[in-house]
Amino acid sequence: MKKMKLIITKNYEEMSSTAADLVIKQIRWKNASVIGLATGSSPLGMYRCLSREWKSGHISLSEIHGYNLDEYQGLSKSDPQSFYYYLKTNLVDVTDFKEQNLHVLDGMREDIDSVCADYEKDIRASGGLDLQLLGLGETGHIGFNEPDTSFPRYTHQVKLEEKTIMANARFFASPEQVPHAALTMGIGTIMSARKILLIVSGLPKAKMLYQVLLGEVRPSVPASILQFHPDVTIIADEDASHVVREKTGFGGTTYEL
């Protein structure tokens, strides 16, 4: 099993371009890659870089299939706060990524169990995830897998933690508008990806990143499970890696953990 690779970048911009380079490398290696997508503020800059590279004619995303990690319940595709809308505007509309290749859990349907089971089947039928992109929640969540007493295996429904609702309220007009439930890939779904790329930016994530990378692997820190994945790259900016650097004495830019 390879060690986890940690790349430390100066700032958000460098984190974004380094992450985009790894995605581009994956696409060049396999045009029709199946990529697990992420939303939130962390990957925004990376999507911007991918769009720039496409506009300059360096890459094509037309063969990629994307499966997003998660979706709020009760928000339709056309709701500007839905993750579908995010990916439509930040990926589909600004590159040649085909909308029919964009797969996002449907948070409007009531037959939640079949939505979740079908998502798992669809990912498997497409050959499995070649690369999973991840951001890190302040609670240590990946996707919407909140701290728990066990690691949920498959795609499922979750109740969001108060801290997550408050953290995501910045995207909504008021905290009351943030849905309290969501659908998310399970930890097992995420861990089934052949490669994982976690990007982390900003001081508020610094303590959590230390626990994730160097703490005990436990379901109360969901992202700590990544320590058991055979091929993980973490790209963290100086702020997010602050505690890791302080506790380990790392002074350079690339490490194996």
The smaller minimum CB distance to ligand GLP, of residues 59 and 243, is found at: 243
CB of 105 to ligand GLP, least distance (A): 11
Question: 196 pairs with which residues across the strands?
Answer: 132, 232
| Residue 95 engages ligand GLP in binding (rule: CB under 6 A) | no
* Chosen residue from 8, 26, 40, 193 binding ligand GLP by CB under 6 A: 40
In whole angstroms, how close is the CB of 193 to ligand GLP at the nearest point? 14
What are the residues facing 195 on neighbouring strands? 131
Piece of 3-11, 135-143, 228-236, 245-253 that binds ligand GLP (CB under 6 A) = 135-143
Q: What is the torsion angle, in degrees rounded to the nearest 10, for the CA atoms of residue 81, residue 84, residue 88 and residue 89?
A: 20
Give Cα separations from 211 to 7, 65, 78 (angstroms). 17, 32, 37
Least Å from the CB of residue 97 to ligand GLP = 18
CA–CA gap between residue 158 and residue 117 (Å, rounded): 15
Nearer to ligand GLP, 39 or 51 (CB): 39
What minimum distance in Å lies between the beta carbon of 252 and ligand GLP?
Answer: 25
- Count the residues of the shown chain that bind ligand GLP, applying the rule CB under 6 A: 13
Helical (H) or strand (E) element with 167: helix 162-168
Q: Which amino acid is at 152?
A: P
Binding positions for ligand GLP, 20-39, rule CB under 6 A: 38-39
Closer residue to ligand GLP, CB minimum distance, 70 or 237: 70
Asked if residue 155 binds ligand GLP (CB under 6 A), the reply is no
Q: Is 168 in the site for ligand GLP (CB under 6 A)?
A: yes
Q: Which of 42, 51, 82, 95 binds ligand GLP (CB under 6 A)?
A: 42
Nearer to ligand GLP, 70 or 238 (CB): 70
Q: Which of 45, 107, 135, 186 binds ligand GLP (CB under 6 A)?
A: 135
Contact 223, 107 (CB under 8 A): no
At a CB cut-off of 8 Å and minimum separation 6, what does 70 contact?
Answer: 39, 83, 105, 143, 144, 182, 183, 184, 185
Contact status: 164 vs ligand GLP (CB under 6 A): yes
Q: How many residues does the chain have?
A: 257
Tokens of 72: 């709020």
> Among 8, 49, 69, 232, which residue sits at the site for ligand GLP (rule: CB under 6 A)?
69
The label of the residue with tokens 């579908």 reads 84
Q: How far apart are CA 6 and CA 234, in angstroms?
A: 5
Does residue number 41 form part of the binding site for ligand GLP (CB under 6 A)? Answer: yes
Question: How distant, in Å, are the alpha carbons of 40, 44, 130, 203, 205 from that of 255?
Answer: 26, 25, 23, 20, 19
- Residues 15 and 45: their CA atoms lie apart, in Å, by 8
What is the closest distance, in whole angstroms, from the C-beta atom of residue 73 to ligand GLP in the complex? Answer: 13
- Restricted to residues 188-247, the positions that interact with ligand GLP (CB under 6 A) are none
Q: Which residues bind ligand GLP (CB under 6 A)?
A: 38-42, 69-70, 135, 137, 143-144, 164, 168
